[in-house]
Structure 1
Amino acid sequence: MTTTPATGYDGLSSRLVPEAELREFLLGCFGIAGHELFVGHADRLDEDLRDVPPDTVFAAFCAYGEVGGHFAMRFDVGVEGRLADRVGRGEFAERFAARFGAYVLYGDAEPPGLWTVVLPDGGLLRAALEEDCDRFILYAATAPIPGLPGLRLDEGLWRIR
């Protein structure tokens, strides 16, 4: 019997989600109990974990923070293999986008330099991104993204391997 290894679901969201809402979403998304989840702002992790025994293992561990540009938030969610079996990377991004009415950028098996963007309605597109510190700007996408009228459209991004 093979066991799925632990993995991470990293991404960017166009909407800054309050921590309590993020926590509620993660609990429901992965079907876990409160004690199996840690959620904290990336700038306060040491402080938030100060009273947690060092040998504590969480089934899901989420750090988030604010960013600028076309996105408002970054998230890094580490999950045990059993949770990855329940909800894959793409499904996680789709659920996040739908739940929070946001567009979500994530990476999986795209060619280098390209990303997948999930729209709130579940639509998927491929996009190119420019990053400068914590500022993320989409400069091309295969379809329009609501709220980004000046985005260059390039259907050819689907053909890049």
Structure 2
Amino acid sequence: MTETAATGYDCLSSCLVPESGLRTFLLDCFGIAESELFVSHDDRIAERSRDIPQDVVFSVFCRYRQVFGHFAMGFDVGVEGRPTERVGRREFAERFAAHFDTYVLYGDTEPPGLWTVILADGTRLRVAMDEEDDRYVLHAATAPVPGLPEVRVDEGLWRLR
């Protein structure tokens, strides 16, 4: 039997999703049982994992935190085993954006310094942003970002390799 490698989905969301909503979404998105999922705010991981045996491996491990700027929440989802075959990074971001009616930033194969933003309707934008500590501010995008008229539109971002 071959083992599926682990992967991760590191994202920013323009809305802050309650933990219960995040948990429900992850269970449905990856088609896993509650026992295969761990979800926690960054500040509570040690406390919540205290009674979990060290040899336990979750299929999906999610940590989240509040961020600032054009995004409200940052989250990292580690995926191991069969769920990695079910949902890729782009599909994950598309599902999250549509489910929570938000825009989601993620990275995959973009040139250094650029990212992809998925809008709630599935539109995909390439963006450039400034980040400092937990503050993320978009400064250019290949098309207008809803609710952010100050973000400069630069279709040339698609040509950067």
Fold match, TM over 0.5? yes
Aligned Cα RMSD in Å? Answer: 1.0
Superposed, which structure 2 residues align to 1:116-135 within 5 Å?
Answer: 116-135=116-135
Give the AA of the match of 2:63. A
Offset at residue 2 of structure 1 (A): 5.6
The ranges of structure 1 where at least 4 consecutive aligned residues each deviate by more than 3 angstroms after the TM superposition are 1-4
Q: Give the match for residue 56 of structure 1.
A: 56
Which residue of structure 1 aligns with residue 88 of structure 2? 88
- Contact preservation (8 Å) 1:12, 1:75: yes
Q: Quote the residue 1:28 is aligned against.
A: 28
Aligned residue number for residue 98 of structure 1: 98
Count of aligned pairs = 161
Deviation at 1:3, TM superposition (A): 4.5
Question: How far, CA to CA, are the matches of 1:84 and 1:95 in structure 2?
Answer: 15
Single out whichever of 78-87 and 18-27 deviates more from structure 2. Answer: 78-87
Whole-angstrom distance in 2 between the partners of 1:147 and 1:46: 37
User: For residues 55 and 3 of structure 1, do their structure 2 counterparts lie closer, same or farther at Cα, with a shift above 3 Å needed?
Assistant: closer
Return 5+ residue gaps in structure 1 as ranges: none
Cα-to-partner distance string for 1:42-92 (whole Å, 9 max, x where unaligned): 111001111111111100000000000000000000001421110001000
Distance 1:3 1:141 in 2: 38
Give the residue type in structure 2 aligned to 1:51.
D
Unpaired segments ≥5 residues, structure 2: none
TM-score by length of 1: 0.97
Separation in structure 2 between the aligned mates of residue 55 and residue 5 of structure 1, nearest angstrom? 17
Secondary structure of the corresponding residue to residue 82 of structure 2: helix
Q: Could you tell me which residue of structure 2 aligns to residue 73 of structure 1?
A: 73
| TM-score, length-scaled by structure 2 | 0.97
CA distance in 1, matches of 2:28, 2:80: 15
